Amino acid sequence: MAEPLLLSANTVAASAVFVLGLIVAWDAYWLTRQRTDIPELGELTNGGFAWKSEGPQEVIRQWGNLASMAAMIALPWALIGASNTSYWYAVVWDIFLSLHIISLLVPKRYAITRTHLFADGQRYDWNRLRLARRQPGRRIMLLRKGWGIFGPLPVGGGQNDLSTARTRITLILDSENNGSGKTVKQSEEE
């Protein structure tokens, strides 16, 4: 019986570092779109609302991700000796994760329109989001429908901005789910 072909530890490490590099590049691309998608802040002409966060508010928003990133930075170093992997993969891994952490902490722009939420350079359709039942005090927690435990979408900002945003999000989602029988998209088209 033939012995199964196993990939070398360095091949697996190179693949993991490559995938992480793609993720960091993807997130960086979307973050550069913030100013294009949300050029102005405050009340928007279409009835929407836009605001921005500050670095400390992003720490509050991303605390769970930051804790997991810290563990991910330390973990490869414990496995290098046991797996006989080149330490350079762990160095590059840590550089990419550090860049990702920086991107998590960069102040963000957010916007609410009748049809979409703009967050992290992305546009989310309201019919794919719902408010979490338990809301934290210093951020808004939305959940992406169908994503299960991988679906949290926290929204950050100052208390006044979050209060305004939470009120508008509640109104939008209520009208989407219950209200007049029309979806938000139909209302905007009229």
Determine the pLDDT at residue 10. 85
93-133 pLDDT, tens digit each:
999 999 999 988 889 999 999 999 999 888 999 999 999 88
The secondary structure of residue 186, as a DSSP letter, is H
SS3 state at 1: coil
The predicted model scores a pTM of 0.78
133-149 pLDDT, tens digit each:
888 888 899 999 988 87
**Alpha-carbon span 130 to 122, nearest angstrom:** 16
Phi, psi (5° rounding) for residue 142? -105, 155
Residues of the chain with pLDDT under 50: 180-190
In the chain, the N- to C-terminal Cα span, in Å, equals 69
